[in-house]
Structure 1
Amino acid sequence: MVQKVTKGIKISVETVFEGTLYKNYQIQYAFGYQITIENKSKDSVQLLSRHWTILDALNNLEIVYGEGVIGKKPILNPGESHTYTSGCLLFSPFGAMFGYYNMVNISNQNGFRVHIPNFKLNAPFALN
């Protein structure tokens, strides 16, 4: 598990290799990740959008951004957390992801970024 705290918001990430599949005549490697967002600050906040950079060992780069996470824009009061699961496909058995969430402090409407720590995606059969 990797973790990072930005402005009182703690992000924890766990990953899992889910298997391989063939898509468009190419093998792809499926990875899942579970993210927990914990509000350790004294203010209520809302997650508005996300921005991901996804890299694989073949130097393929994918940028993903959009509103919320899995269709939700959670509001987190102090001490609350939100956990969700998602995934990605890579063209190699190794890769990494990192990014940030755009959030807003509900009491003063100030926006801020919460950094998602860089986390590795590894297929266990490919490890030495």
Structure 2
Amino acid sequence: MSLEQQITVSVDSFYLGAQSEPTEHRYVFAYCVNITNNSNQQVQLLSRYWQITDGNGKQTEVRGDGVIGVQPQLQPGETYSYTSGAVLETPLGSMQGYYEMIDQAKQPFRTAIPMFRLAMPNILN
């Protein structure tokens, strides 16, 4: 199994109604990410890439160093968790992307972030 496959990413998303303004086409979401190192070596997250798609098909790309201002190192068996957010113009959308990481020999690799949905409650049947 490749190193990329030994780093697992799971995401839970939440609608933040108190911060949203539907009449202004502003829908705010939070998402909690868990990154687990299932390999036998230390890895470090260096940067992120997100593709955010709203309900109208409008796509936005976000790139940046680390996550929430840090470039965490994960020891074997360790999970790193963080919470961030996104603002959409529609009550429904999705996000996906990848993390640029390095192994303990400083060799770069990418770990995929599986697509997840951003949805206002009761928007889907």
Match of 1:101, SS state, is strand
Q: Does 1:18 align with 2:29?
A: no
Match of 1:99, SS state, is strand
Larger displacement relative to structure 2 (25-34 or 114-123): 25-34
1:123 aligns to what? 120
TM-score with structure 2 length normalisation?
0.91
- Work out the number of aligned pairs and report it: 121
2:88 partner letter: L
1:14 partner letter: D
1:113 aligns to what? 110
Instruction: Measure the CA separation in 2 of the matches of 1:21 and 1:85.
Output: 21
Structure 2 segments unaligned to the other structure (5+ residues): none
Deviation at 1:6, TM superposition (A): 3.5
Aligned structure 1 segments of 4 or more residues deviating by more than 4 angstroms: none
Q: Relative to total residues, which structure has the larger helix share, 1 or 2?
A: 2
Q: Relative to total residues, which structure has the larger strand share, 1 or 2?
A: 1
TM-score with structure 1 length normalisation?
0.89
Deviations 1:48-77 (A, max 9, x none): 000000001112111000000000000001
1:41 aligns to what? 39
- Does the CA contact (< 8 Å) of 2:100 and 2:108 recur in 1? yes
Q: Percent identity?
A: 42
Pairing 1:82-93 to 2, within 5 Å after superposition: 82-93=80-91
Instruction: Measure the CA separation in 2 of the matches of 1:71 and 1:63.
Output: 18
Instruction: Measure the CA separation in 2 of the matches of 1:7 and 1:121.
Output: 25
Root mean square deviation, CA, Å? 1.5
2:30 aligns to what? 32
Instruction: Measure the CA separation in 2 of the matches of 1:93 and 1:78.
Output: 38
Structure 1 segments unaligned to the other structure (5+ residues): none
Deviations 1:17-52 (A, max 9, x none): 112227xx8321111100010100011000000000
